[in-house]
A and B are shown apart, each in its own frame.
Chain A
Amino acid sequence: MRNLVVLIPEGFYVNYFVYSTGDLQPPADESYQLQRKGRIRSRDSSASSDDIRSLMDDYRPKTVAIRVLYGGERFRKPALYDRSILPALEELVPDSPLHIPPAIRLIKTLERAVPVPDMLLLFETAFFVDLPIQERTYALDIESAEISDGALDGIRRFGYHGLYHEAAYRRISRQYKEAARVISICLEPVPEVVGIYDGRPVYVSGGSTPMEGIPGNTTCGEIDPGIVLLIEEKKKLGPETINEMLTRNSGLTAVAGQQVTIEDIFEDEEKYKAARDLLEYRVLLSCGAAIALMGGYDAMVFSGKYGHAAEKLSKWLTARLAGSTRHKARQGTRTAIVGEESKPVLYVRDPLDRIIAADYCRLAEGANV
């Protein structure tokens, strides 16, 4: 029996999941057994190194799969770690100063384990590297010397739940082979809508960071860029404090007036009506945009941890997309009807660690990982 350890860094913690990998027979993702899960505080790096090493000692995994939030344009697929990867990761630090350094520390800790496990790095942004140029480009002159000598070089749109979306797409195309145009909605604390055409994302609500797009539990989502300037002008808070406000104190929590999650706002219909109306509306707008870029859609798939919310949201959404006015025209006028018939909707309920375990299994089948 060989073990796989999945590591998902999240804020001040590293969540770990120990799987026994069985015989790697397809469908391997179902033959995997979760043995143990937990979290390690990663703020204090020396203590966390000890915890990681004792985890390695206990399970001696052949492979550790690490979720990395950002991989820039360099990482367009999962990467098996070798020494050449470290400099490439270090180059990404300025783009993602909060997420890359802890990932590097984690890798360095694992390198000192005995025996050294194989390390598989899975990047959330990899799915989005080949977004069409019109979708990834902001209407800025980023090479202009005026903005601090190219400090914004490489600013482009990505997307931040690539692992969920890819798995969701794989699932739906297995079940509905004819579904070429898929709307994939990931309901996590920072939700994301993606339009996938023939396996390739052509629309994504997320931006160069996860701040843009659909408002989340505490993240603001898309706002008028002028508002950021206004807040700085009037309050002189500085970028760090404003960043804190927009990522930790905004979103659905700010609308509800108390700490809420997406799951909460679909539980109490009356109490959180304002927050739910806003979320539903923003997801609807995103779906419309995705449909415009794909020329229609064939199926919809939900993923992410808020499964109950997904069911309720999907009912509302598909009703709106199918158009409340099926009865065509009024006398003498023509009326556009959005959507013709109901389309398949699928829910992927796997948590991210299981998705990563399945990714590992798939890769291990294809190559000698």
Chain B
Amino acid sequence: MDIGPGDLTTMNIFVLNCGSSSLKYGMISMPAGEEILSGEVQRIGAKTAEASRIVHRVSGREETYPIKAGSYKEAFSEATRIVEKDMSFPPDVFAHRLVQGGAEFRDNTLITRREFPLLEKIRDLAPIHNPPVIELINECDARYPEIPQAVILDTAFHSTIPEYAYTYPLPEGIRDELGIRKYGFHGISHQYVSEAAAEFLGIAPERFNAVSCHLGSGGASLCVVAGGKSADNSMGFSPLQGLVMSTRCGDLDPAVVLKMIAYTGGDYSKVDKILNRKSGVLGLSGISSDIRDVIRRAAGTEDERSRTTLDVYLSRIKKYLGAYMTVVGNADAVIFTDTIGESVPYVRELVCRNMDYFGIRLDKWKNRTATGLPADISSSGSEAHILVVRTNEEAAIAKRAYELLSRRETYGHISPADVGLVGPDGSESAFHENGEGANEKLSRLDS
């Protein structure tokens, strides 16, 4: 049958998005992109002060269920039990978000048992985020072996970053041995909001240039979008580089890291914990990891430490915005998204202040009253649009998973680029074997 991407029958994609102690899920009906239900399992793990629970949303209602979730496997099982009350389960496809795919997974892909050994190779690349995903992929396969699974990567969008931007100038031997390069993160969100922004402005995605600012309440990064593709990201090999985040330090003199390793007697895991969990807004302010708390405090009091925290936080965003506007050269838009980017007008206003050089002029009133998103908050004299766009990771993941399946339908087979699998030595030899696996599962989908 000769059908194009838009002609696929409707399918329900169940998206699984693992956080460091939570599991977000959503059932998305594609190609409409309509969310049927969604929810979040919170406080997963053996040792949490409060009990685990599920916040479940369906047809405009929100329900909370206390549950026991000592592991991601349990969390998944509890979530499916609740989902089954509202609709038939399993779905047509499972789509997993993977933060870091390393050299093994460079692009979004369908995954079968044959690729499971490759998953083990990337387990340690993101020690907090990857193991739960691997656990869930195994669990889905064990419980629903007939349902295809897609792996959607935060790093995939950034695979177009040019060599001069992804190379760290370290000795080649150590780069190759440890896979050291910029991978970039938040790719799912940056891609989603830049597509939404291009559509909003009526610009063809492949001609769309922007700087996308994903300012989350936890992690945050800026992305250069050139011709609809990522050309740089402020996060690097790991999510530690770049902006000042809730508890991550962002950019830091490597010599300071060496000093910390020396002072702790070589205890790199302690240094890791300090830089990832006790620095950033939390380390600077000493009161909160949430920049909104710091803003309130800095505004209401003469608290100098809060003011410094806010200044360091904003200044770092401005530096990256300036750097990336220079790289783009002719940006159609600056995009703000995620919790802080969408809901804190003050941050947007200060980041855009005194940026006329880059053609950025914000309209204060539009900025403060931006509610129906996407919204354009630039003044009429601004050369670049300034857009506030709501990110929706679950919808974005479903969209990418649907694309994978559509591509396969269009061309009748999976190409290496679709599957994104390469052998450990970079050759394509490993692909053929793996690719067949993906095709096999797809033929089951056809039937």
Contact = CB atoms under 8 A, between A and B. Distances in A.
A182 to B, nearest CB: 14
Interface in A320-349: 320-321, 323-325, 328, 332-339
Given A274-B164, A291-B357, A133 B311 contact: yes
Interface stretch (A27-35, A64-72, A80-88, A249-257): A249-257
A228 B240 CA distance: 11
A292 B163 CA distance: 25
Nearest to A340: B357
A255 to B, nearest CB: 5
Contacts of B358: 291-292, 336, 338
B308 A133 contact: yes
Interface stretch (B101-109, B147-155, B322-330): B322-330
A147 B263 contact: yes
A257 B173 CA distance: 10
Contact of B274 (A147, A238, A288, A332): A147
B284 interface: yes
B258 interface: yes
Given A333-B201, A336-B358, A233 B268 contact: yes
B21 interface: no
Contacts of A243: 255, 258
B346 interface: no
B366 to A, nearest CB: 15
Given A228-B261, A230-B180, A277-B163, A245 B171 contact: yes
A111 to B, nearest CB: 32
Given A209-B253, A254-B171, A289-B320, A239 B163 contact: no
A369 B308 CA distance: 39
A79 interface: no
B169 A221 contact: yes
Given A133-B308, A325-B329, A228 B320 contact: no
A245 B236 CA distance: 20
Nearest to B248: A139
Nearest to B354: A295
Interface string B218-249: 00000000000000000011111100100011
Contact of B249 (A138, A151, A278, A289): A138
Which interface class (under 10, 10 to 19, 20 to 34, 35 or more) fits B? 35 or more
Given A227-B237, A289-B322, A295-B354, A209 B180 contact: no
A135 to B, nearest CB: 7
Contact of A285 (B169, B236, B269, B323): B323
Given A207-B255, A208-B253, A293-B318, A230 B266 contact: no
Contact of B327 (A222, A224, A288, A334): A288
Contact of B259 (A239, A257, A320): A239
Interface string A206-222: 01110110010000111
Interface of B: 163-165, 167-172, 174, 178, 180, 182, 201-203, 236-241, 244, 248-264, 266, 268-272, 274-275, 278-284, 286, 308, 311-316, 318-327, 329-332, 354-360, 382-385
Interface of A: 132-135, 137-141, 144, 146-148, 151-152, 155, 157, 203, 207-209, 211-212, 215, 220-236, 238-239, 242-243, 245-246, 249-252, 254-255, 257, 274-275, 277-278, 280-281, 284-293, 295-297, 320-321, 323-325, 328, 332-339
